[in-house]
């Protein structure tokens, strides 16, 4: 008897009209995708679906043609508009029936609460031939595990995260691992500053960005532009490393960190044991908030708007704090953006630079703090 094929590609279906109308935000799918990707699964699509039987059934049918694993969340409640079970049954060509064991569990659940079970809840005891129920310790909606010969696996999970996550981690993941989840996978992220996403894309070029393996993608983050290189299958690590080595010389000028590293990691490396003190004008303390948890950040002052000499300020705060490096930042709204001035006192010199942060207001002040980090990072390079 041959073993079933291993699972390599997945799709996620989030079921519920509340998702397609914007009444509720789908947080489950992104987190599930991250867990799958970390285990070498290619997540091809994430789809939100209304509570309409024909739409949900067609989504399952199409997903099974493209993927080895289809995961759904939501639609397992007791009401008529909870239609995930009906949709799966339709795709499998079978009729759901009440499972006696599930019915006993449900009735006991209500009895222990001193309640009579409404007749509508009986559909939560449904099961189809070949399916396995996934117990729910947090609610009344059991999940389904359906292993279809030559078609893949369907996993139906409840929508509420407090019900979904224990079921996923305690019951689904062990079964998926035993079923042959994932494949060799590798990824590398280069984190860039001082350059926009479109400019990064121009530097990399369409030929690389459109190539399927390894996949190279750019993402505009709140604190950086990320370039992520990823691959699946045998030799994934070598292909990712080769592409990273190809891109690094082009992007070196702007690359301040890698992977999950933050500005604190990048600045800590370049400070190399030295300490930093800062003074801010007009940025509402955004720089101190950004740096506050770093052991090398020893003092942060926030001054009211007014006439302040930044070069003097950077030297003064360094002396007051007895730190190795002093940084003074001024942020001012100007023509719909934020003008940023930074002075950095390190060693026997003071360097002063100006930049423009996109947008005014609180977002402009936040970006001014990031600009100050970027200028400090560049100054410490020398």
- The pLDDT, as a whole number, for residue 179 is 87
Q: Which residues of 66-78 are buried (b: 16+ CB within 10 A; e: fewer)?
A: ebbbbbbbbbbbb
Q: What is the pLDDT of residues 116-134, one digit of tens each?
A: 999 999 999 999 998 999 9
CB 255: neighbour CB atoms within 10 A?
18
pLDDT at 27 > cutoff 90: yes
Asked if residue 13 lies in contact with residue 70, where contact means CB atoms within 8 angstroms, the answer is yes
Q: Peptide bond preceding 61: is omega within 30 degrees of 0, i.e. cis? A: no
Give mean pLDDT, residues 145-151. Answer: 89
- The pLDDT, as a whole number, for residue 1 is 45
Q: What is the pLDDT of residues 244-276, one digit of tens each?
A: 999 999 999 999 999 999 999 999 999 999 999
Give mean pLDDT, residues 182-190. Answer: 91
State the chain's mean pLDDT as an integer: 94
What CATH class has 185-258? alpha beta
What topology is assigned to 263-381 in CATH?
Maf protein (3.90.950)
Share of the chain above pLDDT 70, in %: 98
Whether CATH 3.40.980.10 fits 9-179: yes
Instruction: Parse the chain into domains and list their residue ranges.
Output: 9-179, 185-258, 263-381
| Cα–Cα distance measured from residue 151 to residue 157, given in angstroms and rounded to the nearest whole number | 19
Domains 185-258 and 263-381 share a fold: no
H/E element holding 237? helix 236-251
Confidence class for position 305, pLDDT limits 50, 70, 90: confident
Q: What is the pLDDT of residues 100-113, one digit of tens each?
A: 999 999 999 999 98
| Cα–Cα distance measured from residue 213 to residue 319, given in angstroms and rounded to the nearest whole number | 53
Give mean pLDDT, residues 56-78. Answer: 97
């Amino acid at each position: 008897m041959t073993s079933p094929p291993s699972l390599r590609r997945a799709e996620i279906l989030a079921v519920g009209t509340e998702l397609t109308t914007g009444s509720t935000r789908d947080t489950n799918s992104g987190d599930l995708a991250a867990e799958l990707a970390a285990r070498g699964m290619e997540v091809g699509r994430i789809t939100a679906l209304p509570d309409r039987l024909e739409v949900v059934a067609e989504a399952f049918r199409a997903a099974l043609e493209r993927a080895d694993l289809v995961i759904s969340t939501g639609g397992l409640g007791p009401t008529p508009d909870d239609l995930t079970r009906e949709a799966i049954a339709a795709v499998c060509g079978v009729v759901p029936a009440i499972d006696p064991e599930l019915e006993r569990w449900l009735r006991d659940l209500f009895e222990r609460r001193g309640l009579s079970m409404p007749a509508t809840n009986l559909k939560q005891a449904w099961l189809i031939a070949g399916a396995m129920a996934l117990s729910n310790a947090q609610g009344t909606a059991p999940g389904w595990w359906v292993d279809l010969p030559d078609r893949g696996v369907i996993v139906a999970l409840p929508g509420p995260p407090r019900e979904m996550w224990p079921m996923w981690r305690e019951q689904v993941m062990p079964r998926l691992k035993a079923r042959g989840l994932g494949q060799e996978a590798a990824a590398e992220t280069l984190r860039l500053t001082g350059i926009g996403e479109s400019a990064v894309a121009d530097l990399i070029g369409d030929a690389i960005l459109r190539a399927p393996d390894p996949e190279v993608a750019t993402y505009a983050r709140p604190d950086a532009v990320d370039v992520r290189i990823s691959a699946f299958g045998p030799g994934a690590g070598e292909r990712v490393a080769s592409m990273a080595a190809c891109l690094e010389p082009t992007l070196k000028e702007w690359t301040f960190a890698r992977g999950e590293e933050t500005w604190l990691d990048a600045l800590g490396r370049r400070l190399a044991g030295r300490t930093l003190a800062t003074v801010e004008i007009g940025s509402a303390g955004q720089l101190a908030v950004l740096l506050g948890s770093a052991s090398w950040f020893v003092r942060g002052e926030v001054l009211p708007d007014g006439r302040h000499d930044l070069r003097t300020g950077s030297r003064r705060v360094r002396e007051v704090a007895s730190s190795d490096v002093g940084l003074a930042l001024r942020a001012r709204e100007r023509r719909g953006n934020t003008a940023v001035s930074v002075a950095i006192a390190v060693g026997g010199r003071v360097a002063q630079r100006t930049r423009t942060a996109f947008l005014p207001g609180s977002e402009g002040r936040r970006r001014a703090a990031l600009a100050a980090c970027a200028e400090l990072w560049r100054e410490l390079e020398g």
